[in-house]
Amino acid sequence: MEGTSPEMTSQPSSSEEHGSGYVKIQGTQPSTLGYSLYDNPVGILSWILEKYYAWSDPRCPAFNDADTNAFSHLHISDEDTLTTVMIYYLTNTIHTSFLPYKELEAVVGSKAKAFWVFALQVRGDRGTEELADVKYRLNWQFYKMHDFGGHFAALDNPDALVGDMQEFANKIWPGF
């Protein structure tokens, strides 16, 4: 795939050693995890906060109050966090948010090329090493690497995400 750098294919897989447990449980037992959090807003909050803390760009972290070097206008606020938790809790959908991890294995395993893939990656974000393998199995149409932002691009670097989505749409549907 165009845009794949040597560092993407040679980075050590530290995310497999530290922090990949969510993939295993969501991919193999999504119902067990989902139903344990289903009617538990504190559990959902704990699950979400841990991901925000671990995967946000350090310059706009989930816990940004004391960091004078952080971009104060770009951080995951308490309101963002509580809104996310309440959406999952009030709609009883935390368990369905785990299903794509289980379903993805079937798609990737079948070497599906039937749908377009949009990828936005940030240097140092977890999962960079997995892209090198997955890109050969899917119908990649767009890829962009950014120096700023984290896993939660809509919160960490919203302007770049919107720009990339527009660029992707123009590539697939010219004049969009």
Count CA atoms closer than 13 A to 15's CA, side-chain side.
17
Contact (Cβ atoms closer than 8 angstroms) between residue 15 and residue 126: yes
pLDDT category at 175 given cuts 50, 70, 90 is confident
Contact (Cβ atoms closer than 8 angstroms) between residue 56 and residue 77: no
Quote the pLDDT of residue 6.
44
Quote the pLDDT of residue 9.
42
Answer with the residue of higher pLDDT: 29 or 128. 29
Residue 115, SS3?
coil
Q: Is residue 163 part of a domain?
A: yes
Q: Is this model's pTM higher than 0.75 or not?
A: no
Q: Is residue 39 part of a domain?
A: yes
Contact (Cβ atoms closer than 8 angstroms) between residue 1 and residue 140: yes
Average pLDDT, the chain: 74
Instruction: Average the pLDDT over 148-153 and give the result.
Output: 76
Number of other CB atoms surrounding residue 7 within 10 Å: 12
The answer on pLDDT for 152 being more than 60 is: yes
Whole-angstrom distance, CA of residue 111 vs CA of residue 104 = 11
Q: Is residue 1 part of a domain?
A: no
Look up the domain containing 166 and give its range.
6-172
Summarised one tens digit per residue, pLDDT across range 9-34 is 444 445 455 567 888 888 889 999 99
> How many angstroms separate the Cα of 135 from the Cα of each of 29, 75, 109?
25, 30, 12
Give the sign of the dihedral formed by CA 43, CA 149, CA 30, CA 23: negative
Summarised one tens digit per residue, pLDDT across range 76-99 is 778 888 999 999 999 999 999 999
The count of structural domains within the chain is: 1
Domain with 11 in it: what CATH number?
A: 3.40.50.1820
Q: Is residue 12 part of a domain?
A: yes
